Amino acid sequence: MENRELLFGNHAIALGAYEAGVTVGTGYPGTPSSEILEFLTKYPGVYTEWSVNEKVAFEVGYGAAISGARVLITMKHVGLNVAADPLFTSSYTGIKGGLVIVNADDPNMHSSQNEQDNRHYAYAAKVPMLEPSDCQEAKDFTAYGFTLSETYDTPVILRTVTRLSHSLGVVIPNENPLRNRKIEGFTRDVSKYVMIPGHARKRHIIVEERMRKLEEDVNTSPLNRMEINDTDIGFISAGIAYTYVKEAFPTASVLKLGIVHPLPEKLIADFFKQVKEVYIVEELDPFLELQIKAMGFKTEGKKYYPLTGELSPDLVQRAFIDKSGITQKEAKTGLKTEISLPPRPPSLCPGCPHRQVFKILNKHNITVTGDIGCYTLGVLPPFSSMHTCVEMGGSIGHIQGIEIAEGENYKSNAVAVIGDSTFIHSGVAGLLNAAYNKRHSLIIVLDNSTTAMTGMQPNPLSGQRINGEEALQVDYRLLAQACGLEDDNIRIVDAYKPGALEDTILSLLKTKKLSLLVVQGLCIILKKRKTRTEKKNG
Amino acid sequence: MGKIFNVLMVGVGGQGIIMASDIFALAAMHSGKDVKKSEIHGMSQRGGSVFSHIRFGEKVYSPVISKGEADVLFSLEEMETLRWIEYANTETTIICLKTRINPGMVETYPPGIDEEIKRLSKKVFFLDPQPIIEKIENKKFLNVALIGLISGFVHFSDESWEKAIREKVPRGTFEGNWQAFLTGKNLHREEFQ
């Protein structure tokens, strides 16, 4: 038997990048994308970094790509919002070495604040998007993405979803990975890389020509595949949803799209010619459906199943159960209990350094603008101490807005709470804004020395790089001083000294001056892990 | 398309579901099967409800099991068995470890859970972990012993199991884990045959 491996979806993506000769990987952690870069770090001859946020990750990756390296950039769906700015214009300049951006969507919001459908980004930024449906394809499509990127001189987005990123599947590795690819370095070409309006207008025309060529070529791409079986009924699907269709309707015809942008109109026309009734199955938005309807084909999709959450084989089966001529496997009935069980929501770990802060904030009935991380769990009982949470870094902006809107009525009984990694990601700019615009908010950084929620990635406040080597550890005090905060309003307190913590919070609120309070306590999971390692090493 | 065998493992964060299901999926692959496994990392690690879908056969498409389609529902916690029972049908073998873990904020464990499981299924087996723990070298190997027990419901070779366990357990613990696996396998003979 060939050399088969059982790989995690995210591992397969990293392997695909390695096999395609990637030498640079950048990203910012975010479920379900975080493990990709961690796997990539383990391969020889690849530089990887956790960048401070997705925009910077994109820019560093882009710089390497226009110097001829093949580059993988990873982020979760909401991360692409942060990196959208460079995405849209890099589409104009094109690249030099292949550039693949892995975008991990999270239908059903297993660990996210929204379930936006990022296929729209490919459409809006005019870049091709690939969508694998299993781990083997995750590897193969990633590797193919670099060829596509270089052939058409464009960034390419690979879309994965939680259900694929966090599943295990059988993968056959490529025994001859492309390594030792020559990297030419950066060559000046201002009309291509400097997007002043005069250059950008010309590049936009090139982008449209590229998309027209792609629209033609995707009709014959091996990534788009027609599986003609029963010609009475057929489905057009892609990604993980394709596997649900195959499971629910094994005898139906299927047009499986591996490239979800741009769509292969001729191939779709051919499918409609061969199959009597065609339905679209896709998670989240009717992205394929609207475009295929706009092409003039008679079809339905979202009419039969939800716009929200994940699909599943049984959900797909139920959606089309009454369609004439459909052969489906026998559906079994699941057992149903009438007992309602208490939920088992995730909670802050016993011993978590963040617990004390939320207890104190709750005790004093303080309004808390919140942020993204483990500590968002402070919203749940028994703490019930978080009152806003929208996006990374948002807490520091929110509190300024509350203060401005309430004006003279502002009672100085509100704080912004943000984790260390989130603070570095996009909180620092908020702090600077508060200082510049004369706000007097109290900003509390919950510093557990790691990006815990996504699996303990280091950041510029933990003094380590992705590969474990020592690195810069930003000095909170100097940072706050540079923003003009007074010394007395910059405090660093031990998370496990609740008395001092409570006094500090109350006294800083009374000062009515912009304040930064850093609550330090190593993540309890990381602490246990370190103790174990130390024991092992004697 | 051949029959796909579906195993749903459920429990609570920290009970070791992920490693146990990894061993299971790996053994399936080593026996020449196509296999997929699906679970969710992230929020669920913080003491939440944890599940792992394992599917194997000639060719597996979906990584998730449909409701009512589990062949084996294997649960490390009593209440969790009931939470996921919709994935089982009347023919599903349900194995439930006699373990109770209160959810955070819940003082008393809800009554009548075991009775309800018995009412819904005639093929449920409750397992007391204590006698198993007494037979194995280290209580940390309990999950591998339980894997040994459910190995009786599938037909993978001993070599596949051995290879999978060797690849997944911490270095230096293979022997103990392998003995635990065999203990579980024998228990299957006693309990189910």
Count CB-CB contacts under 10 A for residue A330: 4
Taking an 8 Å cut-off on Cβ atoms, the answer to whether A344 and B69 are in contact is no
pLDDT digits (tens, 9 = 90+) for A200-252: 999 999 999 999 999 999 999 999 999 999 999 999 999 999 999 999 999 99
Query: Quick one: angle between helices B158-168 and B174-192, nearest 10?
Result: 140
The topology under which CATH files domain B5-192 is Pyruvate-ferredoxin Oxidoreductase; domain 3 (3.40.920)
pLDDT in tens, B64-112: 999 999 999 999 999 999 999 999 999 999 999 999 999 888 889 999 9
Say yes or no: B59 contacts chain A, CB-CB below 8 A.
no
- Cis ω on the peptide bond leading into residue A262 (within 30° of 0)? yes
The label of the residue with tokens 């449920």 reads B124
Amino acid in position B144: V
Tell me the nearest-neighbour CA distance from A164 into chain B, angstroms: 8
Paired residues of B53 in beta bridges:
B8, B38
**For residues B178 and A342, what is the distance between their CA atoms, to the nearest angstrom?**
37
Please tell me the distance in Å from A340's CA to the nearest CA on chain B. 9
pLDDT < 50 regions, chain A: none
φ, ψ of residue A417 to 5 degrees: the values are -120, 130
Q: Positive or negative, the Cα torsion across A136, A139, A143, A148?
A: positive
DSSP string, A243-278: HHHHHH-TTEEEEEESEEES--HHHHHHHHHH-SEE
The number of angstroms, rounded, from the C-alpha of B95 to the middle of its chain's C-alpha atoms is: 8
Q: Name the residue facing B63 among A32, A163, A374 (closest C-beta).
A: A163
Alpha helices in A485-523 (DSSP H): 498-511
| Structural tokens at position A34 | 């975080």
- According to the model, what pLDDT value does residue A149 have? 98
Strand (E) positions, A362-466? Answer: 367-369, 414-419, 442-447
Cα–Cα separations (whole angstroms), residue A531 to A467, A494, A520, A525, A536:
20, 20, 18, 10, 9
**Rounded CA separation A420/A373 (Å):** 10
Contact A32/B41, CB-based, under 8 Å?
Answer: yes
Query: Rounded to an integer, what distance in angstroms lies between the CA atom of residue B72 and that of residue B53?
Result: 10
Q: Residue window 118-147, chain B: list those with CB within 8 Å of chain A.
A: 120-121
Domain residue ranges in chain B: 5-192
CA B37 to CA B39: how far, in whole Å? 7
Q: Do A346 and B45 count as a contact with CB atoms less than 8 A apart?
A: yes
- Tokens 């079809």 correspond to A299
Contacts of A246 in chain B (CB under 8 A): 61-62
d(CA B45, CA A227): 39
With a cut of 60, say whether residue B43 has pLDDT above it.
no
Spatial CB neighbours of A440, under 8 Å, sequence gap ≥ 6: A403, A412, A511, A512, A513, A514, A515
pLDDT of residue A129: 98
pLDDT, residue A152, reads 98
d(CA A255, CA A270): 10
Residues of chain A in contact with residue B12, where contact means CB-CB under 8 angstroms, are 344
Contact A501, A493 (CB under 8 A): yes
Taken in order B157, B158, B161, B166, the sign of the CA dihedral is: negative
Q: Is B157 on the interface with A (CB under 8 A)?
A: no
pLDDT tens for B100-154 read 999 888 889 999 999 999 999 999 999 999 999 999 999 999 999 999 999 999 9
Rounded average pLDDT over B29-41: 92
A281, β-bridge pairs: A237
The secondary structure of residue A342, as a DSSP letter, is: P
- Whether B115 and chain A come into contact, CB under 8 Å, resolves to no
A-chain residues within 8 Å CB-CB of B106?
Answer: 342
**Domains annotated on chain A, with CATH:** 5-219 (3.40.50.970), 225-330 (3.40.50.920), 355-533 (3.40.50.970)
Asked if B94 has any chain A CB less than 8 Å from its own CB, the reply is no
pLDDT band for B45, please (50, 70, 90 cuts).
Answer: low
* B19-B25-B27-B30 Cα dihedral, nearest 10 degrees: -130
Chain A partners within 8 Å of B44 (Cβ)? 110, 346
SS3 A280: strand
Q: How far is B14 from chain A (nearest CA, A)?
A: 11
Chain A residues lying within 8 Å of B112, measured CB to CB: 339
Residue A320's pLDDT is: 93
Mean pLDDT to the nearest integer, B20-30: 96
Phi/psi of residue A383, nearest 5 degrees: -80, -50
Q: How many CB pairs under 8 A join A and B?
A: 154
| Chain B residue numbers touching A111 (CB-CB < 8 A) | 40-43
CB A238 within 8 A of CB A256: yes
Question: What is the rounded CA–CA span in Å between residue A492 and residue A417?
Answer: 14
